[in-house]
């Protein structure tokens, strides 16, 4: 982990802390980053599962079966 200095908007930090239930700036930033990463992962899954699957494709059907 690295240390850095950044300027942050106090109002946004306060709002994020309230939304996340955090108490310190470090905890708020860490939880905010965790949330962004989790949202991106959910978006990738939604995108993956929202695409139609060609069930007539033999390769698609073969990969659907597990041993």
pLDDT in tens, 19-43: 999 999 999 999 999 999 999 999 9
pLDDT in tens, 49-63: 887 777 788 887 787
DSSP string, 6-67: ----HHHHHHHHHHHT--SHHHHHHHHHHHHHHHHHHHHHHHHHHS---TT-HHHHHHH---
Place of tokens 């860490």: 30
pTM: 0.72
Q: How far is it, in rounded angstroms, from Cα 41 to Cα 45?
A: 6
Query: Of 48, 46, 5, 45, which Cα lies nearest the Cα of 29?
Result: 5
């Amino acid at each position: 982990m690295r240390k850095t200095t950044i300027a942050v908007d106090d109002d946004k930090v306060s709002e994020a802390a309230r939304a996340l239930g955090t108490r310190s700036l470090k905890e708020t930033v860490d939880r905010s980053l965790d949330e962004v990463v989790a949202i991106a992962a959910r978006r990738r899954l939604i995108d993956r599962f929202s695409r139609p699957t060609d069930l007539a494709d033999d390769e698609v059907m073969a990969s659907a079966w597990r041993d």
